[in-house]
Amino acid sequence: MKHILFFILLGSILLLSACKTKKVVMSGPAPIYSDGEIVQALEDRNVSWEWLISKAGINIDSPSEKVGGTMYLRMKRDSVIWVMVKKFGVEAVRAQITPDSFQIVYRLDRSYDEGRIEDLMNHYKLDLAFEDMQQMMFGNVMLPDSAHTKVKQSEKEHLVSGVSGDLKLMYSLDPYQLLLQSILINDSKNRDVNIEYLDYRDTEDFGAIPFERRYRLPYSETETASLQLEFKDFEINAPRAIKFSIPSHYEKL
């Protein structure tokens, strides 16, 4: 669990208001879409929010550990990211990230780490502003520069490629409802992050959303790690208390 913050930073989490759902069924001939409609589908999936509350099953498979548990997430836009992970019903990790700093407590080891968010980004060689981090964790996609966006349509999938800053982006959308199937992100260091979106269900308020996500992430120069999230409960714009403290007898890493 020592690298949980690494996965939190690179992962992105789609969380919408709790509501009744039903499975999305796609069959028969796919509709005909214009390139503009396909790009617009990416823009339309982004959601405006102020608060986010979530609970999800989490499984991590990396060269250093294989672990599963339950993740609880609370975010207030432009203010704080709060995460707690439980294993077998027992709290293992609690983390808090603000625009300037991070703190993470390892309950099982009775230890903690803290520092500047800038140093954390440098350690993992990431170039993310706090706002970008929150939007990615919420599930709002980075949109490519419209001047360099390309669309390639096929019977199996519609591909949208482009760039955003130093990132190269490739989106795969299903040809029926233009649901996002996967994103491939390549950064300036030629590292790939691949995200798959599965188990789409129709919701009353927000249309079809994926209840499962799978990530393939760079772990080192030669190794990768995987992360799987299965959402249980989630809602937006419902403020909750955020509590975080470090016990005085815990050892600093």
Q: What share of the chain is helix, strand, coil (3-state, %, to 5)?
A: 15, 45, 40
Q: Give the mean pLDDT of 137-148.
A: 82
Q: Is residue 202 part of a domain?
A: yes
Q: Is residue 102 part of a domain?
A: yes
Give me the CATH number covering residue 207. Answer: 2.50.20.10
Q: Is residue 147 part of a domain?
A: yes
Q: pLDDT per residue over 171-223, tens digit each?
A: 999 999 999 999 998 988 888 989 898 888 776 666 777 888 898 988 888 88
Name the residue among 53, 99, 50 with its Cα closest to residue 77: 50
Looking at every residue in the chain, the average pLDDT score rounds to 84
Q: What is the pLDDT of residue 149?
A: 94
For residue 95, give the H/E element and its range: strand 90-97
Q: pLDDT per residue over 49-71, tens digit each?
A: 899 898 999 998 988 888 889 99
SS3 4: helix
Please give the Cα distance from 200 to 203 (Å, whole number).
10
Q: Is residue 248 part of a domain?
A: no
* Residue 169 and residue 156 in contact, taking contact as beta carbons nearer than 8 Å: no
- Give the total number of structural domains in the chain: 1
Q: Is residue 48 part of a domain?
A: yes
Q: What is the pLDDT of residue 217?
A: 85
Q: Is residue 86 part of a domain?
A: yes
Q: Is residue 246 part of a domain?
A: no
Residue 11 has pLDDT above 60, yes or no: no
Domain containing 212: what range?
Answer: 4-238
> Of all residues in the chain, what percent carry a pLDDT higher than 90?
43
Structure tokens at 12: 């992105």
Q: Is residue 253 part of a domain?
A: no
* Residue 9 banded pLDDT, cuts 50, 70, 90: low
Q: What is the pLDDT of residue 16?
A: 40
Choose the weakest-confidence range: 137-141, 144-148, 168-172, 197-201: 137-141
Name the residue among 235, 207, 242 with its Cα closest to residue 54: 235
